[in-house]
Every structure is written in structure tokens, then in C-alpha cells.
């Protein structure tokens, strides 16, 4: 029964969003409209859309699951995800809005030699977006596989469906449609989370002491059948010595510095009319994102106390904690509602990633690197972006199907954050704030950060490890050797490597009087909005 | 606007609009005011944030102490991060009103002196 209900709810979301896409496609007459929604999005709309872009499957399904299984340590993820927005607010959002046009690379190209810088930035953007996207698509596929167990809809069909829909949103609706898909999804996600939280509290007779009392005595069974009672408020259930504390700090660094380097978040600030609106939209996003992550207390600990680890482990594993909580607490209809929201979440995030990746390819690589910044015929950039969206979508569908439903999704998202923090953030910050910074510095920074983070992940415990012979399939480490780098998250080392690369390149490269002169222009522009891209009437 | 667009940002008034703004007192004040707020605030939130994983990682005994009922220091400290982040965001919005005023004033002066705000340089974008 819940199957039909989920399908009906999910199909209505698709119908509504396709309607929006049709509406947006009639208004997407110009490049500013296709890439930046005419810069006409208001502060609260963009705030909700940023929140929508950010609260992905990793948050709704992943964090709830981590808290359900590891208690307090899972909640630590929630904290970093919000605090990261202070970096966006204080350091990046406004200068970026004032100095750029469509992509993150615009800011770098403003004062540096545009071609090498845009080429590297485009590679980095595509890398971050693709890893992030594959993770989301695998999430969608596994969700479908678990929900529709025994039905004729397989993992492959589910992944392909999500991929095709997102291509349709982006190719026909551009940034305007993607923004509204994001807004609707964020509202649904918050509504579902609030409802679920109230139901959890109701279960404990709206008594916080009773709720926290239950959290302090979570009962489950060890693999050998022994009964375990644990205080889930206690830290250390997941991050254990010797490397646990370093792992936590490394994760924190990747989050705090990575968010301000995520291309699909940064492009959102080009959709608003000016820097002031960009600022207010970050604050709106922080209110929504913060409220959501505080409520993961109820989702996660609720699942731990009401549903229990044993039941979740037997019915789809950590990622199914929130949907299972809905099922146990309020029955099949609510379960269908929450599952449909999870689909919508994934679909919207994937659309946001696709548009930022394809915009970067079209604007940075095609127009500015290959064709010297000139569109050979009007609308060429848009056409290239549409084709790129199609290719990016097809490639992600292919890789996601290849990796299969059991691939380690969390590690792909962590890789995206780590690459963003190590490659993108150093060069963005240094080009906005450091006068001496030059082209060699930017290229080295991007290269070192990109390679550093990827290599450290490849030689870390996500990829390398010794498994017992009983471990088979996707759970086995691809390289059967003790890990060379002990941490899953490379941030603590790869972020300094990114900064070091940028400094090294700058000092080894020649002094660039032009970059210094253009820095002074950039400083004026970033701080006053003089000459920034204006909103267009539509 | 009867200004002549020669090269990159040069309006034909002898000085580019960028150079003109660079030498304005309001612009220096704007940069200074921003630095005064953003630098210490950024340092504060980074220290406050990383105190959480450091304390949780290296002083788990202290962090597990119960404050009331089953609620411990670790949870309260984590929760406080949300309110501190919101607090900083609201403070910034208030302070930034002053930045906007400086900015508007600079653009006004520029306009009065006959510079065209909408003429962009050809390079870069």
C-alpha cells in the first residue's frame, strides 16, 4: 500500500516541477536568464534555494542514520554543516556577487590570466560536482531499491529516472526552474522534518526530560547477541582514539572551508540582484539550515530510541533511519510522504549540481578558454551548457550504475567537500584578499589542492584496508593493504597543501604588475558593487 | 553620459573610476570598518567551532558530565554553536548596513563627478 502512496506523492512532485520547468523555459530567453535566473531572485527565495541545494540526501538520510547508530558523534556532523555558512557570509558571498558573472572562476579571471585559471577552475568544479552528484544518485538508487524491494523497479531504472529528470530541468528550465525546484523541495523537507520532530516529542508526551532519559539508555544487540545499553549522549561512540579526534578536526576543516568552495552553492549568489541581497539570502539560508540541523536531534535520537538499531540494521541500514522512524511512529502513509520527500531532495540537489557543472564547462572552458571569451553566435554558451548538462547527466548515471547500490556514498561526498576546501577555497580567498597573488599561484593552488585531496583519499582508509576473507563485494576495500594515510577525511593535510601550493606558485612565479593593478579594481568592485552585473528585466 | 570610453575602465576624465574610488576617504574607511569587524569575528568563530571537536576528542570525560537530567556539556556546547552562528550572522547584518551606506555614498560621489558606473572594462568577464 505504501508503495502506491509513495509513487503518487513522488509523481505529483515530478508533475509540479515539470510544470515549473515549462514555465521557466518560456522565460529563459537570454544567457543571464538561463545561467543566473535574470539575477531577479529575492533574498528569501535564494536563501530557501541555498538551503535546498545544501540539505542533500547526506543530511536527511545520512546524518539521521549516523545519530541513530552512534548518538552524539553523529550530531557533530550537523554542527559543522551550519557553522560553515559563516565563512560563506563573512568572507565569500558578497565579493563573489560583485566581481563575478556566472561562475566561481569569474572572480579569479578578473585579475589573473583568464585562460589557465579558468581551465583549472573548470576542472576542479567538474570534479567536485561529479563526485557529489554520483553520491546523490547512488543514494536515490539505493532508496528505491530498498523501498520497492521485490517490485519491478530496479536500481538501474531508478538511477536513470533521476538522471533523465534532472537533465530535463536543467536543459529546458535553466537556473530559474532549478531555483524553484530547490525552493519547493526545501519547503517540503522542512515540513516533513517538523512533523516528524513533533511526532517524536509526542511519543515522549512532550517531555524533554523523558526524551533525554530515553537517549541515555539506548538498548541494542551486539552481533554475538549480547544486550548492550549505551548512553547515546556520550561522545566517542564513532570517533575513537587514536585517530578519532584528528578525524573530527579534519572533517570540521573540510566542512568549514569546503562549503565556501562548493560551486553549486557559489553560483546561487549570482541569481540575486546585488551583494546586499546575497548577504540577506545567506542569513535566510542559515536560519533554515540551522533549524533543520537542530531537528536532526529528534530524527536521529528518535530513530535510536523509538525504532532502535536492531530494526534499522535489518531493514535497509543507517540511511533508512528517518523513513523507518516515520513508518514506526505514524504508519505507512507518513512513511510514503517522508520517502517521497527524500526522493525530491535528491532530485533537486542533483539538478543544482548539474547546472553549476554545465555552466562552468560552457562559460569557463568553452567560451573563455577555447574561444577567447567570445560567443561566436548569440546563445552559443547556452547551447553548449545544455549539451554539457546532458553529458554530465549521462556520465553520472553510468558511473552510479557501475558502482552499484552498495558503494560508500559518504566517502564520495567527503571527497567533494575536501576537494572544494583544498583546491577552490584557497584560490578564491587569496584572489579576493591578497594583492601579490598571481596566475602561477592560482594554478598551483588549484592543482596541489585537487591532487593532494584525491591522493590522500586514495591512500586513506576509505580505499585501502585489510579485510577478512568473509567480507565480500562492495564492502571490501579496493586496495588490500594497510592504509598509508590514517584519516578518512584528508582536510587537515590537503587544505594546507592547497594553501602551500598557492603561496609557492605565487612566489616562484614572476611578479605580475597587471594582477596588482587589477586587484585594486577588484577591491573597489568587490566592496562597493561598482560595475557589478545588474538584474535584468524579463 | 558624455564620457569617452577609451581603454579598460578609463573614462577619459584623466583617471579611471577605479583609481578615483581608491583614493576616496570613504573607501579607505569602508575597508577599515570591514576589516575591524570581519577579522576578529572570523577568528572568534573558528576558535569557538574547533573548540568543540578538540574538547570532544581530547577531554571526553569532562564533556560527558551531566548538567541537568541526562543532558551533558557536550550536547549543550554543540547546541550553543547554532545560536552563536546565528548571533554572529545577525550582528554582521546590522554592522553591514554601515558598509552599504559608505558604498552608496561612494557611488553617488562618482556619479556627481561624471563617471559612468555602468561602463565596464572589456577584460576579465
* Of A57-61, A318-322, A406-410, B19-23, minimum mean pLDDT range: A406-410
Min mean pLDDT across A59-63, A70-74, A105-109, A521-525 is at A59-63
Residue A134 predicted with pLDDT over 70: yes
pLDDT at A72: 93
* B33 at A interface, C-beta within 8 A: no
What grid cell was written down for A183? 525552493
Is B4 part of a structural domain of the chain?
Answer: no
Residue to test with chain A: of B41, B70, B105, most A Cβ within 10 A:
B70
**Of A424-438, B2-16, B40-54, minimum mean pLDDT range:** B2-16
**Residues B73-97: tens digit of each pLDDT:** 999 999 999 999 999 999 999 999 9
The DSSP-derived string for A59-77 is IIIIIHHHHHHHTHHHHHH
Q: Counting every residue, how long is chain B?
A: 125
Q: Would you say A405 and A135 are in contact if contact means Cβ atoms under 8 Å apart?
A: no
Residue B55: domain span = 17-112
Q: Collect all residues with Cβ–Cβ distance below 8 Å to A433 and sequence separation of at least 6.
A: none
ipTM confidence: 0.89
In the A/B pair of chains, how many CB contacts fall below 8 A?
169
- Residue B116 corresponds to which cell in the numbers above? 559612468
Higher pLDDT, A434 or A406: A434
Q: For residue B77, is it within any domain?
A: yes
Residue B124 lies in a domain: no
pLDDT tens per residue across span A334-352: 888 888 888 888 888 888 8
Which residues in chain A touch residue B120, judged by CB atoms under 8 angstroms apart?
Answer: 531
B69 touches chain A (CB under 8 A): yes
The structural domain count of chain B equals 1
Q: CB-hemisphere CA count at 13 Å for A152?
A: 0
Greatest mean pLDDT among A131-145, A241-255, A412-426, A487-501 lies in A487-501
The domain ranges of chain A are: 2-404
pLDDT tens per residue across span A185-210: 899 999 999 999 999 999 999 999 99
pLDDT at A424 over 70: yes
Q: Would you say residue A150 has pLDDT above 70?
A: no
- pLDDT higher for B7 or B59? B59
Stretch A459-484: mean pLDDT: 79
Residue B23 belongs to a domain: yes
| Residue among B27, B45, B125 whose CB faces A86 most closely | B45
Q: Which of A231-240, A428-437, A495-504 has the lowest mean pLDDT?
A: A231-240
Q: How far is A66 from chain B (nearest CA, A)?
A: 15
- CB-based contact B96 A290, cutoff 8 Å: no
Q: Note whether A96 contacts B: Cβ–Cβ < 8 A.
A: no
Smallest Cβ–Cβ distance between A290 and the set B72, B86, B103 belongs to B86
Chain B contacts in chain A segment 209-228 (CB below 8 A): 209, 212-213, 215-216
A234–B72 C-beta distance less than 8 A: yes
What are the beta bridge partners of residue A227?
A221
The answer to whether the Cβ–Cβ distance between B124 and A75 falls below 8 Å is no
**pLDDT for position A5:** 73
pLDDT band per the 50, 70, 90 thresholds, residue A537: low
Q: Which residues of B touch A106 (CB under 8 A)?
A: 124-125
* CA of A209 vs chain B CAs: smallest distance (Å): 6
Tell me what pLDDT residue A153 has: 65
Under the banding of pLDDT at 50, 70 and 90, the label for residue A87 is very high
Query: For residue A388, what pLDDT band results from cuts at 50, 70 and 90?
Result: confident
- Read off the pLDDT of residues B16-68 as tens digits, 9 standing for 90 and up: 888 888 888 888 999 999 999 999 999 999 999 999 999 999 998 899 999 98
Q: Domain for residue B35, yes or no? A: yes
Contact flag A286-B86 (C-beta cutoff 8 Å): yes
Between chains, do B82 and A282 touch, taking CB under 8 Å as contact? no
Q: Does a structural domain hold residue B100?
A: yes
Q: Which of A105-114, A159-168, A210-219 has the lowest mean pLDDT?
A: A159-168
Query: Which parts of A152-296 fold into alpha helices (H)?
Result: 155-168, 174-203, 208-215, 244-258, 263-266, 275-296
> Which residue, among A527, A494, A528, A89, has the nearest Cα to A281 in the 3D structure?
A89
CA distance B3 to chain A (A): 16
CATH of A2-404, one of 1.20.1730.10, 3.40.50.300, 3.40.50.10140, 3.30.300.160: 1.20.1730.10
In a domain, B70, yes or no: yes
Convert chain B into a string of H (helix), E (strand) and C (coil): CCCCCCCCCCCCCCCCHHHHHHCCHHHHHHHHHHHHHHHHHHHHHHHHHHHHHHHHHHCHHHHCCEEECCEEHHHHHHHHHHHHHHHHHHHHHHHHHHHHHHHHHHHHHHHHCCCCCCCCCCCCC
Q: Which residue has the higher pLDDT, A366 or B44?
A: B44
How many helices and strands (H and E) does chain A possess? 24, 2
Amino acid at each position: 500500500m505504501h508503495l502506491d502512496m509513495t509513487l503518487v506523492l513522488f509523481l505529483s512532485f515530478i508533475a509540479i516541477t515539470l510544470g515549473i520547468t515549462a514555465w521557466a523555459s518560456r522565460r529563459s530567453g537570454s544567457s543571464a536568464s538561463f545561467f543566473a535566473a535574470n539575477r531577479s531572485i529575492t533574498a528569501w527565495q535564494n536563501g530557501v534555494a541555498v538551503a535546498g541545494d545544501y540539505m542533500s540526501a547526506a543530511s536527511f538520510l545520512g546524518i539521521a542514520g549516523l545519530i541513530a547508530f552512534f548518538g552524539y558523534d553523529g550530531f557533530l556532523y550537523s554542527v559543522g554543516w551550519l557553522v560553515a555558512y559563516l565563512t560563506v557570509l563573512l568572507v565569500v558571498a558578497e565579493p563573489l556577487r560583485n566581481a563575478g558573472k556566472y561562475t566561481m572562476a569569474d572572480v579569479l579571471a578578473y585579475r589573473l590570466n583568464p585562460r589557465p585559471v579558468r581551465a583549472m577552475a573548470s576542472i576542479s568544479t567538474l570534479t567536485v560536482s561529479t563526485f557529489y552528484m554520483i553520491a546523490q544518485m547512488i543514494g536515490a538508487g539505493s532508496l528505491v531499491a530498498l523501498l520497492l524491494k521485490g517490485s519491478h523497479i530496479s536500481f538501474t531504472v531508478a538511477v536513470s529516472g533521476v538522471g533523465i529528470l534532472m537533465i530535463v530541468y536543467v536543459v529546458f528550465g535553466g537556473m530559474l526552474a532549478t531555483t524553484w525546484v530547490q525552493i519547493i523541495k526545501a519547503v517540503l523537507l522542512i515540513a516533513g522534518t517538523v512533523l516528524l520532530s513533533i511526532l517524536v516529542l509526542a511519543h515522549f508526551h512532550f517531555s524533554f526530560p523523558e526524551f533525554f532519559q530515553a537517549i541515555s539508555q539506548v538498548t541494542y544487540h551486539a552481533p554475538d547477541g549480547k544486550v548492550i545499553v549505551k548512553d547515546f549522549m556520550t561522545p566517542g561512540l564513532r570517533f575513537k582514539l587514536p585517530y578519532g579526534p584528528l578525524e573530527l578536526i579534519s572533517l570540521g576543516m573540510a566542512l568549514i572551508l569546503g562549503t565556501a568552495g562548493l560551486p553549486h552553492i557559489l553560483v546561487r549568489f549570482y541569481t540575486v540582484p546585488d551583494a546586499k541581497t546575497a548577504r540577506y539570502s545567506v542569513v535566510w539560508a542559515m536560519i533554515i539550515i540551522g533549524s533543520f540541523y537542530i531537528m536532526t536531534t529528534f530524527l536521529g535520537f528518535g530513530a535510536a530510541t523509538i525504532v532502535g538499531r536492531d530494526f534499522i540494521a535489518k531493514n535497509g541500514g543507517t540511511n533508512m533511519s528517518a523513513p523507518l522512524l516515520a513508518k514506526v511512529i505514524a504508519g505507512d502513509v507518513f512513511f510514503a510522504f517522508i520517502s517521497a520527500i527524500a526522493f525530491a531532495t535528491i532530485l533537486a540537489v542533483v539538478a543544482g549540481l548539474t547546472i553549476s557543472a554545465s555552466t562552468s564547462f560552457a562559460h569557463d572552458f568553452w567560451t573563455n578558454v577555447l574561444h577567447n571569451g567570445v560567443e561566436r553566435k548569440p546563445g552559443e554558451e547556452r547551447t553548449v551548457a545544455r549539451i554539457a548538462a546532458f553529458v554530465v547527466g549521462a556520465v553520472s548515471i553510468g558511473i552510479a550504475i557501475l558502482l552499484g547500490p552498495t558503494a560508500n556514498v559518504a566517502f564520495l561526498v567527503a571527497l567533494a567537500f575536501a576537494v572544494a576546501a583544498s583546491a577552490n577555497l584557497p584560490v578564491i580567498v587569496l584572489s579576493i584578499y591578497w594583492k601579490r597573488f598571481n596566475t602561477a599561484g592560482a594554478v598551483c593552488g588549484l592543482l596541489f589542492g585537487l591532487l593532494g585531496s584525491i591522493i590522500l583519499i586514495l591512500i586513506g582508509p576509505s580505499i585501502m584496508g585489510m579485510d577478512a576473507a568473509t567480507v565480500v563485494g562492495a564492502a571490501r576495500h579496493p586496495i588490500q593493504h594497510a592504509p598509508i594515510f590514517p584519516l578518512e577525511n584528508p582536510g587537515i593535510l590537503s587544505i594546507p597543501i592547497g594553501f602551500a601550493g598557492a603561496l609557492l606558485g605565487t612566489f616562484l612565479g614572476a611578479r605580475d604588475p597587471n594582477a596588482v593593478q587589477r586587484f585594486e579594481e577588484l577591491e573597489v568592485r568587490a566592496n562597493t558593487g561598482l560595475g557589478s552585473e545588474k538584474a535584468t528585466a524579463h | 553620459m558624455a564620457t569617452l570610453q577609451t581603454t579598460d575602465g578609463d573614462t577619459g576624465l584623466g583617471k579611471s573610476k577605479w583609481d578615483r574610488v581608491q583614493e576616496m576617504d570613504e573607501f579607505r574607511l569602508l575597508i577599515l570598518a570591514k576589516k575591524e569587524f570581519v577579522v576578529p569575528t572570523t577568528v572568534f568563530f573558528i576558535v569557538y567551532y574547533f573548540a568543540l571537536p578538540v574538547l570532544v576528542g581530547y577531554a571526553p570525560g569532562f564533556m560527558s558530565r551531566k548538567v541537568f537530567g541526562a543532558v551533558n556539556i557536550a550536547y549543550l556546547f554543540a547546541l550553543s554553536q547554532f545560536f552563536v552562528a546565528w548571533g554572529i550572522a545577525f550582528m554582521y547584518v546590522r554592522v553591514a548596513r554601515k558598509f552599504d551606506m559608505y558604498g552608496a555614498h561612494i557611488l553617488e560621489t562618482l556619479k556627481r563627478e561624471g563617471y559612468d558606473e555602468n561602463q565596464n572594462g572589456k577584460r576579465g568577464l
